[in-house]
Structures are given as C-alpha cells and as structure tokens.
Structure 1
Amino acid sequence: MKLVVAGKLTLPLAICSALLLTSCKKNEDVTPSAPTTNGEVNSWVLDNMKTYYFWNDKLPANPDTSLAPKSFFNTLLYDWNNTANTDRDRFSWLQESADDLKASLSGQSKTTGIEYNLYYRDQARTGVVASIIYVLPGSPAAKAGIKRGDIISKINGESLTATNYQTLLSGSADTYTYGFATVSNGVLTDNAQTKQVTAVVFQEDPVLLDTTYTIGGKTIGYVIYNQFIPGLYKAGSSTLDNTYDLKLDNIFGKFKQKGINELVLDLRYNRGGYVSSSTNLASLIGKNIDASKVFYTQKWNSIVTAQNDKQRGAGWNSENFLTKSTNIGANISRVFILTTGSTASASELIINGLRPFMTVTTIGTTTVGKNVGSITISDKTGRIKWGIQPITFKSANALGFTDYAGGFTPSIEVKEPSYGMKAFGDVSEPLLNEAIFQISGTRMARRAATETTTQPIIGSSLDRKAGGGNMFVGDAVPNGHY
C-alpha cells in the first residue's frame, strides 16, 4: 500500500507511504523566483486538506487565506479547541520546513540528549525544575555524565522559573551550563554541581535497553522502546533502511533463544512513529498470528475511500501481521506494557492490535488516546517549503474496536515519582517492579514508597518531539507514521 502526496496530486496515486513523500521531490526541486505569500501557502494547504483530511466534510466554507499559515491551519481543524470533545482533532499540525518535519519523524534532531519532565518546585508555583527522565546513549549529555533522575534547577547560572524556563531550555545558543538540585524528603536544594553540554544534530536509537531477568521461576524479557523508527536514511536517498527494525528482530531472537516465558514492553515515553515498525513489533509478540491475521484496519474520508475501493478493491485499508521467525508468541500467553501520559499513537496501536490475540496488561497511567493517524504532505515542486501532518484516518483492531480517544486506562495504576527516579532496568523501579510482581509474585521494593513524591507535570521535552504535544505523529499505512 503506497501513498504519494505532494501538491495538487490527483487521487489515482493514493494510499501511499508518508515516508515515500520525500521521493516526490527527487529531480523536481525548483528554486522559487519570489518568496511565497501567505495566500499561496494557505491555498496549497487547503487544497490538500480538502482531499486528504479525515474531517474534510467539516472544513469551514470560507476560510481566511490571508492569515499567517499556522493561524490559518488552526482554523481548518475539526473542533480543535473544544476540550470537552475527546474525538476532536488534537493532533494535526503544520511545520514551516517539510525537511525538518521528515527528519524529526525519523528520530533526528538537534539536542543535548536529555529528555525531561517539568515540575513546580514550590507551592507558590514560581520556581521550576527539569527532572531528567532519560538520556540518549552516546549523546553529549550522556558523555557529560548526566543521567536519569538528575534534577536541573539552573541554566547558565539562572534559576528556572515559571516565567523563564521556556526561554532558558530552548534558547538560541547551542551550549548550556546546567546547574543541579538534590531532593531529600521531598525538599529540593540547589547544589554547586554544573555540567556544560553543547547540542548537536543527533540520531536517536529507539531501543534504549533490552535485558532478561530470571525471577520466581520465570524468565522475563524486558525492552524499552522510545520511538517507532524503522532505521536510518540510506546514503544519498530520502528513504529509511530497516536498521532498527532488524535490531528488534535480533533482540526477540535472543529472547526466544533464552526461552523467555514472560515479556515486559516499556512504552512509557513512546509517542509513536512509523506504523511499519509498529506492525513489525506486534508481529514479534503476537500469539497465534501470521500474515493472514489482521493487525489493524483504517477508515479514511469518503474521497480516499471511494478512489481506493475502485482501484484496489476489498482489503486495501487493512494491515496484516508479518510472519516472523523470531516471534515469541508460542512461548508467552500475555504481555505487560508499561505506559504513561506520554504513551501515544503507534504505542496504543500495539495495545489495541494485540488484545484480540492475547492478554495485554497495562501498568502505569492512562495513555494519550490517539486512535487516528496522518500522512506527511510536502510540495513536489519545492516552491512551498512547508510540510503538513494532517489526520487522515481512524484505526481499529481486528475486532473493530476503535473507541480509545480517552486513552487506555491502566490495568494496574502505578505513578512514576517526580524526583529520585531509579535507573532503567533496576528491578526496584516502580513500573518494572510492579510488572515483575504481577509475573512472579515477588515484589522487589515497596510499591507505595515512591508515590508520595508524585506531582503534576507542567510540561515535558517530549512535547517538542515529533509525536508530542499537538504534534502527535500518525499514519496507518506501511512505512508511514502513526
């Protein structure tokens, strides 16, 4: 199933991979003779939204194309500011650079390598701290010795506050001097430690950790997966290889070889990504599945549906599992998935898509609730540099279940602590500890001990990632984004 979308493309080319959209520009780039106007960009946006947007029947009759593109785009989104409607469009977005959009969807960005949640440090809500949730291996921050659980209270000598934290954390300079705080009995105290880190363009490896445990007669496989990315850009190409999908294949091959009989899949910080990678991962886990079984189906608008019904026939909107030699489904009857309010899109597709075939127990907090997907649209002529990531379909599992716009409520609720987080892989880490207890009956640490330090998150660096905030990545076509 392939979908190439660029400019005013006619629908006979429809249902193609968002990943392949970059190929629409090959050998067709045109240097603009003059800067594009708001009206030109907005007309291009509107034409594509009329064709591909899931709620194209709800577009305004006479939108104001003189607005700045981002403001104009928001006027097109279905019920987007009605917070009472969980089924509204929360996820479409427009980006000024289509090239930057595509790079972010492949896990590449300019970063120091830290991801963090933000909390108020006092009851007056004046001070703010950034609590590190993970550090990318091999990144500048990792090389500087920054780790999960560290607490940043100052940047370049200036304390983070409710009024300056956004500016300090995302400043124009690439070099940051981080100052840190420690916590004791819930009280934060600044210390004298500082570390200087310079941001670089960095390719994230989505597999943060994989390991096995033998506890209570159970052999448990554990993998932390932070973004659904198939691989790296091929040299001189605009397409991705399957480096990271193959890495997961090898990990599950090791799990199978070691005879694991339980699996813990950690998706707590996974905002989504390429649905081909979601299909690949589900195919490594599912029980009694093969290429004849449906992983998910998709519902598009009437224009796309009619065209593809005619040209492709029945089944064009279904994605089946893959037959994988490293599938561990014969060894397990269930999977434990760790979730938070940052678990979205392709991660939720895994939860929903596996449930018809095996017991899926979620541990953590309620997921985002993204049961819709999108495609990447760029201008094939190269004149318009903007990129669109509009919602284009809604997904359902093999049983037709699609109603999770409110998120998946955890089977067992466990909250992450705001501060003092344990290292990943530590069996006393709260979410992993609970999974091990559910599997083996052995609790590696007192569960209640960490819950007293949980506070509301006021923001997260994950909101800036492709798939974060109002930028949830989506696309339920192979090699696309979801």
Structure 2
Amino acid sequence: MRLFFASRLALLFAIGGPLLMTSCKKDTDVSPITSNGEVNNWVLENMKNYYFWNDKLPANPDTSLAPKSFFPTLLYDYNTTNPDRDRFSWLQESADDLKASLSGQSKTTGIEYNLYYRDQTRANIIASIIYVLPGSPAAKAGIKRGDIITKVNGELLTLANYQALLAGTGSTTDTYTYGFATISNNVLTDVSQTKQATAVVFQEDPILLDTTYAIGGKTIGYLIYNQFIPGLYKAGSSNLDNTYDLKLDNIFGKFKQQGVNELILDLRYNRGGYVSSSTNLASLIGKNIDASKVYYTQKWNSIVTAANDKNRGSGWNTQNFLTKSTNIGANLSRVFVLTTGSTASASELVINGLRPFMTVTTIGTTTVGKNVGSITIYDDSGRIKWGIQPITFKSANAVGFTDYAAGFTPSVEVREPSYGMKAFGDVTEPMLSEAIFQISGTRMARRAASTEVTQPILGSSLDQKAGGGNMFITNKFLDNQH
C-alpha cells in the first residue's frame, strides 16, 4: 500500500518510531512546479491519506484556487465554533522555512510582543515586549521585557500600518529603529530615546531561564521553557541534534543535586514543538514513572491505523516515558505550571500526561486546547516547494483522557499585566509570586485585585511562530521506510 506520495514527513507529536511508508524515487528533474492545480493535487493526495478527518474532505474541491486559498477549503469545520474543529493545520509556501521555524530558527531582531490598543480611540497600537531572546540583536541593543514600542522607523504604530512596520513589509532594510513609551498611572508617554536592531537568521534557545529559590523551608526549582526543540537545525539536514534536550537533562541534574523538592514550570509562552522533547521533559519530572509507564497514546485515521496495525503490531501508537537518571520525581508530590492563552500543544501534553502520576496545579489563564498533533509533509524531489502541516492524530494520557479541546482552566487564575511586566525570575512577578505563595504560604508581592483588568490582546508575535505555534512535532523528518 503506497502511503508516501513522493513526500517526506515529520511528526509533530512523536509516535515512538516512524510510520510505515514506501517511497518514490527522487526525480532528477527539479524544475519547480508552480501551477495551482499540480500543487493542490499534491496537497489533496497527502490529505486523503494522512489527515485525521480524511473522511470529511470535500468531494470536489476547487484545485484551480491559489494554494493558500485552497488549503482552508479542505479543513474540517474550519469556519465553525465546534471546539473539536481543525483550528491548527496550515500550509507554508517554503517547506525549508517551515522546517526551520519548527526548530526555532527564523529571521528576527529577537523581540516577542503582545499587541494592544494604545487608548480608547482605538486608532493607535502599541507592542508590549513579553520577552527578548538572549544574544539576539534586540538584546544587544538593550531592549528588554516590559518595554513598550510605539514607533518603528519614526512612524507611530496605527491600526493601518502596525503589521507592515513590525514585519518590515516593503522595507529595503532589515534594520528597525524602535521608539518607546513609558507608563505612569496607566498613562503612556512617548520618550525620545530610540534603539536599533537588525534582523538576522537566529536560532532560539528554548530555555530562557533556570534557577532555584530557598523559601519557607522549600527548595524551589524554576524553569522557563518557550518551545519544545530537541536541538539545532541545519539547513538541508533531515534531523536535529539533541543540544537542548541535553541542556534540560543537565538542568534537572543540577536541580537534583540541589535537593529541589518543588518545581515551577513556566510554559506561559510555549506554543508547543517536538513531542520527543515533551517526552524528555515529562520524564524528568514525573513521579514513579519509568519506561514501562504510558505518557500518551494516539488515534490516527483508518488508513494509517490499518497499515501500522498490520505491519507493526499493537502498541505502535503508544509513547511511554523515558527512564532518566536526572528525574526529580522522587522528591516531588506535585508540579506547578504557569499558563496563558499562548500555552498549547506539547505544553498541554505535559500537563495532561503528568496528571495520572502527580498533582499538576496550573496558574495563569486558560490554555489553547490543542489535543491533536500533526506531521510535516514536503516533496522529497524538491519540485514542489510548499510544505503542509496537517492534523493527523488525537492524543490521550495514560488513563485515556483526551477531552481538553477547550483548554485547561487554571487552578488559580492570574493575569499578566498588559504593560511594564517585571523581569523573569523576579519573585514579585505576579505569576511566579503566586506559585511561590501556593508552595510556601509566603506572599512575595501583593495579589492583584479583581478590579485590576488587563486589556484584551489584539495579537501577538507568537502567532507568527511556526504557523501560529500550537503544535506537536517529532525530532525526525522521516526517511523512507521499507
């Protein structure tokens, strides 16, 4: 049974081994295919075989459309309010860019931000910096979390121009001159100081901060982890190395040596990533877990299921925990996870996968609700430059719980301020402070009053990361299996 269609796939939610596939030989003619019909037929053929809702594809889709218009017409209940609809599949014009972005590599100055209206007129926009990538051009320019951008290249951000200015659309240079405002008594005031940064192709280190606190007789480990990436991406390579997974192992080894007996896992901006890294992280935390315990299981469509049931036998769709020498679960009875509306996918998998084994207390706001995973599909011959990331399976934890499409509601609700956020690791930062209070009973800062309302977020730079994030990935762009 042919399941490959001259494409390669990378799972966005690992399956403990490759899917069973046969391959077509590489085509020596690498002239790119640009016609809508040929690209769309390639997309449709792969969707028929791998898409989770392949039984709900339209009978006669219009393959004459431009691919970016065609792809949404294939998606299950795309334009409805059904919480189980397909909110997460996407298509990208460059498969190479898709693979790089899934691995934390992009062209950027290094800032991540949320967008808000500046005032009640709703004419102007501000970009509130939520974090800056260490070592990036923005970090070197002195831009930091909590800064408020009101201008780019001398122009005020408005509803009409903010997208083009922040993305550099139409600009002949990759250099951005940012103008800022300060805030006092909820009033924004522009300042004359500017800072300049030039966008470069940058590899993000997903581990933003790790540290420990000794408070109230507790030794608290704190980890900020922003994307599930096993290691470094190199253009043209089929695999990533394990640089960042090893870094996590070393961090938990340090936590173990320091006697950490409480853990705060900060996933507030983590949209997801490679499930191999999710498995690795959960295996460093879980209590009374080892390679015999189930971390998650998957449900695929009937075509993939039948082929793998026949050729691989039972258990092919189950991922167990790993046995890790640096696991700190023996010293833990619970874990605290910081969440927001940007917490998704492999992050939610950690929450769901650990809950059968220990208490998981979430602090923040409701997560995205991505209980499904996807694969990266691209043309192995190089003739079709597009890449697609379709949803291909649904996940469940060791006790079969899968119903979190509406997201995980926080055990304790804490909202981040819209402006002027405190530095990460500051024990008076609202979300970290609340976690410390839940652990130790010690208040490090005043609890925000219910009357302190934050502004609704209009959008976020995180929405542009790897198709909007919200993803599970495996660490292999699967080669042909025989």
State the shift of 1:299 in Å: 0.2
Once residues 345 and 402 of structure 1 are traced to their aligned partners in structure 2, the CA distance between those partners, rounded to angstroms, is: 12
Choose the corresponding residue for 1:121, options 118, 121, 125.
118
Q: Which amino acid aligns with 1:53?
A: Y
Choose the corresponding residue for 1:102, options 99, 104, 119.
99
Choose the corresponding residue for 2:34, options 23, 33, 36.
36
| 2:346 pairs with 1:346 | yes
State the shift of 1:191 in Å: 0.7
State the shift of 1:32 in Å: 3.5
Once residues 356 and 121 of structure 1 are traced to their aligned partners in structure 2, the CA distance between those partners, rounded to angstroms, is: 44
Distance 1:355 1:244, change over 3 A: same
Pairwise mapping of residues 20-419 of structure 1 onto structure 2 (< 5 A)? Answer: 28=26, 30-33=28-31, 35-82=33-80, 84-172=81-169, 173=171, 174-233=174-233, 237-419=237-419
Q: Which amino acid aligns with 2:167?
A: S
| 2:463 pairs with 1:463 | yes
Distance 1:453 1:149, change over 3 A: farther
Q: Which amino acid aligns with 1:257?
A: Q
- Asked if the contact 2:8–2:377 (Cα under 8 Å) also holds between the matched residues in 1, the reply is no
Q: Residue 273 of structure 1 aligns to a residue in which SS? A: strand
State the shift of 1:452 in Å: 2.1
State the shift of 1:474 in Å: 2.8
Once residues 24 and 325 of structure 2 are traced to their aligned partners in structure 1, the CA distance between those partners, rounded to angstroms, is: 36
State the shift of 1:448 in Å: 1.2
Q: Residue 452 of structure 1 aligns to a residue in which SS? A: coil
TM-score (norm 2): 0.93
- Cα deviation, 1:433-473, whole Å, max 9, x if unaligned, reads 000000000010001169726110000000000152xx532
State the shift of 1:49 in Å: 0.2
Once residues 417 and 451 of structure 2 are traced to their aligned partners in structure 1, the CA distance between those partners, rounded to angstroms, is: 6
State the shift of 1:127 in Å: 1.0
Q: Residue 376 of structure 1 aligns to a residue in which SS? A: strand
Q: Residue 222 of structure 2 aligns to a residue in which SS? A: strand
State the shift of 1:164 in Å: 1.0
Once residues 136 and 232 of structure 2 are traced to their aligned partners in structure 1, the CA distance between those partners, rounded to angstroms, is: 17
State the shift of 1:7 in Å: 3.2
- Asked if the contact 1:276–1:479 (Cα under 8 Å) also holds between the matched residues in 2, the reply is no
Distance 1:30 1:457, change over 3 A: farther
Distance 1:158 1:283, change over 3 A: same
- Cα deviation, 1:309-336, whole Å, max 9, x if unaligned, reads 1111111100000000000000000000
- Asked if the contact 2:183–2:189 (Cα under 8 Å) also holds between the matched residues in 1, the reply is yes
Distance 1:19 1:110, change over 3 A: farther
- Cα deviation, 1:265-289, whole Å, max 9, x if unaligned, reads 0000000000000000000000000
Aligned-pair Cα RMSD in Å: 2.5
Once residues 160 and 403 of structure 2 are traced to their aligned partners in structure 1, the CA distance between those partners, rounded to angstroms, is: 38
Distance 1:245 1:201, change over 3 A: same
State the shift of 1:186 in Å: 0.8
Identity over aligned pairs, percent: 80
Once residues 35 and 235 of structure 2 are traced to their aligned partners in structure 1, the CA distance between those partners, rounded to angstroms, is: 34
Distance 1:266 1:25, change over 3 A: farther
State the shift of 1:36 in Å: 2.6
Once residues 149 and 5 of structure 1 are traced to their aligned partners in structure 2, the CA distance between those partners, rounded to angstroms, is: 49
State the shift of 1:246 in Å: 0.3
State the shift of 1:381 in Å: 1.3
Q: Residue 384 of structure 1 aligns to a residue in which SS? A: coil
State the shift of 1:134 in Å: 0.1
- Asked if the contact 2:430–2:447 (Cα under 8 Å) also holds between the matched residues in 1, the reply is yes
Distance 1:90 1:480, change over 3 A: farther
Once residues 187 and 372 of structure 2 are traced to their aligned partners in structure 1, the CA distance between those partners, rounded to angstroms, is: 41
Q: Residue 400 of structure 1 aligns to a residue in which SS? A: coil
Once residues 211 and 175 of structure 2 are traced to their aligned partners in structure 1, the CA distance between those partners, rounded to angstroms, is: 34
State the shift of 1:31 in Å: 4.6
- Asked if the contact 2:17–2:316 (Cα under 8 Å) also holds between the matched residues in 1, the reply is no
Q: Which amino acid aligns with 1:256?
A: K
Distance 1:451 1:424, change over 3 A: farther
Q: Residue 177 of structure 1 aligns to a residue in which SS? A: strand
Q: How many residues align?
A: 470
Is 305-314 or 358-367 further displaced after alignment?
305-314
Once residues 314 and 18 of structure 1 are traced to their aligned partners in structure 2, the CA distance between those partners, rounded to angstroms, is: 12
State the shift of 1:29 in Å: 6.5
Q: Which residue of 1 aligns with 2:454?
A: 454
State the shift of 1:119 in Å: 0.4
Is 355-364 or 445-454 further displaced after alignment?
445-454
Once residues 379 and 68 of structure 2 are traced to their aligned partners in structure 1, the CA distance between those partners, rounded to angstroms, is: 17
Once residues 80 and 253 of structure 1 are traced to their aligned partners in structure 2, the CA distance between those partners, rounded to angstroms, is: 44
State the shift of 1:192 in Å: 0.6
State the shift of 1:111 in Å: 0.1
TM-score (norm 1): 0.93
Once residues 3 and 167 of structure 2 are traced to their aligned partners in structure 1, the CA distance between those partners, rounded to angstroms, is: 32
- Cα deviation, 1:114-171, whole Å, max 9, x if unaligned, reads 0000000111111110000000000000000000000000001110111111111111
State the shift of 1:18 in Å: 12
Once residues 38 and 127 of structure 1 are traced to their aligned partners in structure 2, the CA distance between those partners, rounded to angstroms, is: 38
Q: Residue 41 of structure 1 aligns to a residue in which SS? A: helix
Distance 1:126 1:447, change over 3 A: same
Distance 1:467 1:292, change over 3 A: farther
Distance 1:94 1:192, change over 3 A: same
Once residues 106 and 328 of structure 1 are traced to their aligned partners in structure 2, the CA distance between those partners, rounded to angstroms, is: 27
State the shift of 1:27 in Å: 9.6
